[in-house]
Structure 1
Amino acid sequence: MSDFKIEFEVEHPSEPPVIDVHYEWQCDALWMSGKYGLANLDGHEIGLSAELVQDLLAWVNSADAIFPADDPASYELPDNFLEDGYELARRVRAELPPEWVVTTWHPVQGFGVEVPLED
């Protein structure tokens, strides 16, 4: 992690940097808040691996491909979409420095959670 560099200006120095992994139609999967302000990111901006950035993009594209823009209320997520999102969030957590907080929707518990830093 010694190569890690962030190009964003510090906006809130007393807050940790936060990344939330979630889906919104025609947006990237990562939502940053906290220390570096607010932004919707694909991941390369915060130093994630090219493979993980591609997997995050494929995840949102799988949902965008079937999103009924003319009837959003009828939308149903693809099979295993929430489980895949949680696994992607775990990978994001593993690639970011410990000071970062990573959150996402837990597919079993049914609410937003902080993804733990694993040893």
Structure 2
Amino acid sequence: MGLRIELEVENPNEPPAVDVHYEWTQFALWMSGKYGYGNLAGHEIGLSPELVQALCDWGDRADAVFPADDPASFELSDDFLQEGYELARRVRAELPAEWVVTTWNPASRSTVEVALDD
């Protein structure tokens, strides 16, 4: 894969990692590890434009209904969470094996590492 990452290596002894989850008005990708910490759209780590757009659209849909005046009342639907899991599987498929990809799995109701063959 001709993945081109133009980020500075901050933690050379750690694997690069990204977590896929929703937070109001933020991108869906949360990076840690080798390239440091940050909230990303996805193009910074070489994801396809189609996947970056899908991740942005996913977050935008939740942002559109997020009750900023009462955030504690907000619950993400099972369908939304399942879509996030499927997006994480796509992220896993586009990144090299060295990357660790995690997300919320609505079936197990826990954060999981997305396997390469998932």
Please report the TM-score for the alignment, with normalisation by the length of structure 1.
0.96
Using the TM superposition, give the Cα deviation of residue 79 of structure 1 relative to its aligned residue in structure 2, in angstroms. Answer: 5.2
AA at the equivalent of 2:20? V
> Hey, what does 2:44 align to over in structure 1?
45
AA at the equivalent of 1:13? P
Q: Distance in 2 between matches of 1:90 and 1:31?
A: 15
Paired residues, what number? 118
Q: Is the 8 A contact 2:78 2:106 kept in 1?
A: no
Matched position secondary structure for 1:65: helix
Using the TM superposition, give the Cα deviation of residue 76 of structure 1 relative to its aligned residue in structure 2, in angstroms. Answer: 2.3
Query: CA RMSD, aligned part only?
Result: 1.1
> Hey, what does 2:66 align to over in structure 1?
67
Q: Distance in 1 between matches of 2:75 and 2:110?
A: 17
Unaligned residue ranges in structure 1 (runs of 5+) = none
Unaligned residue ranges in structure 2 (runs of 5+) = none
Using the TM superposition, give the Cα deviation of residue 73 of structure 1 relative to its aligned residue in structure 2, in angstroms. Answer: 1.0
Q: Is the 8 A contact 1:10 1:37 kept in 2?
A: yes
Matched position secondary structure for 1:112: strand
Using the TM superposition, give the Cα deviation of residue 115 of structure 1 relative to its aligned residue in structure 2, in angstroms. Answer: 0.1
Identity among equivalent positions (%) equals 69
Using the TM superposition, give the Cα deviation of residue 117 of structure 1 relative to its aligned residue in structure 2, in angstroms. Answer: 0.2
Matched position secondary structure for 2:65: coil
Using the TM superposition, give the Cα deviation of residue 78 of structure 1 relative to its aligned residue in structure 2, in angstroms. Answer: 4.0
Q: Distance in 1 between matches of 2:87 and 2:41?
A: 12
AA at the equivalent of 1:8? L
Q: Distance in 2 between matches of 1:98 and 1:105?
A: 20
> Hey, what does 1:36 align to over in structure 2?
35
